[in-house]
Amino acid sequence: MRAKINLSVLVSGGGSNLQAILDGIDSGTIANARVALVISSNPDAFALTRARKFGVETAVVSAAIFPRESRRTERMSELLSKAKTDAIILAGYMSILPAEIVRAYEGRILNIHPSLIPRHCGKGYYGKRVHRAVLDAGDSESGATVHFVDEGVDTGEIILQRKTPVLPGDTVDALAARVLKVEHEIIVEAVARTCATLSERNAEESAGGADDGTG
C-alpha cells in the first residue's frame, strides 16, 4: 500500500475550496491523499470549522499571535514538517507565503486565483477586489486559475485555467459566485493531478531505493 500524499491547506476565510478538496478526497476523485493540516491566517475563518468537522488538525498562524515575521515563518515551517507535508495548497489564503517556505516546497505549492491570470492578478488583487476589477474593465469573460507558487505574486507556472462568462448586469457577488463554482472544479482536478504525480515520484524513488546495492 503506497503512503498517502499529505496535503497542508492554507486558508483565511470561508474555506469553500478547502471543502471541495475534502469532498474530492472523500469521493475518491483525489486518490491516495489526505488533508493532514489546515493552517489559517485568521482565527475566525469558517474554514477552520470545516476542517475540524472532517477531523483535520488545524492551526492559526497570524500576525496577531506572531508579530515578528521570522517567528511566523518558523512556526509555519515547524507545523508543515510535523504534518509530513508533501504538498501545500493555498485555498483562499490572503497572506504572502514566506520565501523560505516557497523554496523548501518548490514545485509542490499550488494556489487558486479567481481570475484568468495574467488578467487581474498580483499584489492587491485578491477576493472580491478581483471581480470588481473584471467588471470595471468591462471584460466579457472571467474564470479561475490554479498555478504553482513561486517567489512572485501569482507569477508561477499555470496548471489549469477555466473560463466563465461575465453576464450583463453582473454584480461583484454574482460574478464571484459563478467563478467560485469553476474554482471548485479546477482545484479538485489540479490537486488530483498533483497527488498522482507525487505518488508516481514516490513509487519510482522507492523502487530506485530498492535497487541500491543490488547491481
Residue numbers annotated as active site:
113
Binders of ligand GAR among residues 101 to 130 (CB under 6 A) are 112-114, 126-127, 130
Which of 14, 150, 160, 161 is in the footprint of ligand GAR by CB under 6 A?
14
- CA 78 – CA 80 distance, rounded (Å): 6
Residue 92 in the binding site for ligand GAR (CB under 6 A): yes
Under the binding rule (CB under 6 A), the answer on residue 41 touching ligand GAR is: no
Q: Where would I find the beta strands (DSSP E) of 5-102?
A: 5-11, 33-40, 57-60, 87-90
Exactly one of 9, 80, 91, 109 binds ligand GAR (CB under 6 A); that residue is 91
* 36 or 112: CB nearest ligand GAR: 112
The least CB distance from residue 178 to ligand GAR, in Å, is 11
In the shown chain, the binding pattern of residues 124 to 163 toward ligand GAR, with x for contact by CB under 6 A and - for none, equals --xx--x---------------------------------
Side-chain half-sphere exposure of 152, counting CA atoms within 13 A? 9
Going by C-beta distance under 8 Å and a sequence separation of 6 or more, which residues neighbour residue 146?
110, 111, 112, 113, 158, 159, 160, 161, 186, 187, 190
Residue closer to ligand GAR (CB basis): 81 or 171? 171
Residues making up the chain, counted from first to last: 215
Q: What is the DSSP letter of 68?
A: S
| Complex with ligand GAR: residue 50 or 72, whichever CB lies closer | 50
Kindly give, in sequence order, each residue whose CB lies less than 8 Å from that of residue 197, ignoring residues fewer than 6 positions away: none
Of the candidate residues 5, 10, 13, 102, the single one contacting ligand GAR (CB under 6 A): 13
Contact call for residues 35 and 22 (beta carbons, < 8 A): yes
Closest approach, Cβ 116 to ligand GAR, in A, equals 12
Residue sitting closest to ligand GAR (CB): 92
The H helix count followed by the E strand count for the chain is: 6, 7
Residue numbers at the binding site for ligand GAR (CB under 6 A): 11, 13-17, 47, 91-92, 112-114, 126-127, 130, 180, 183
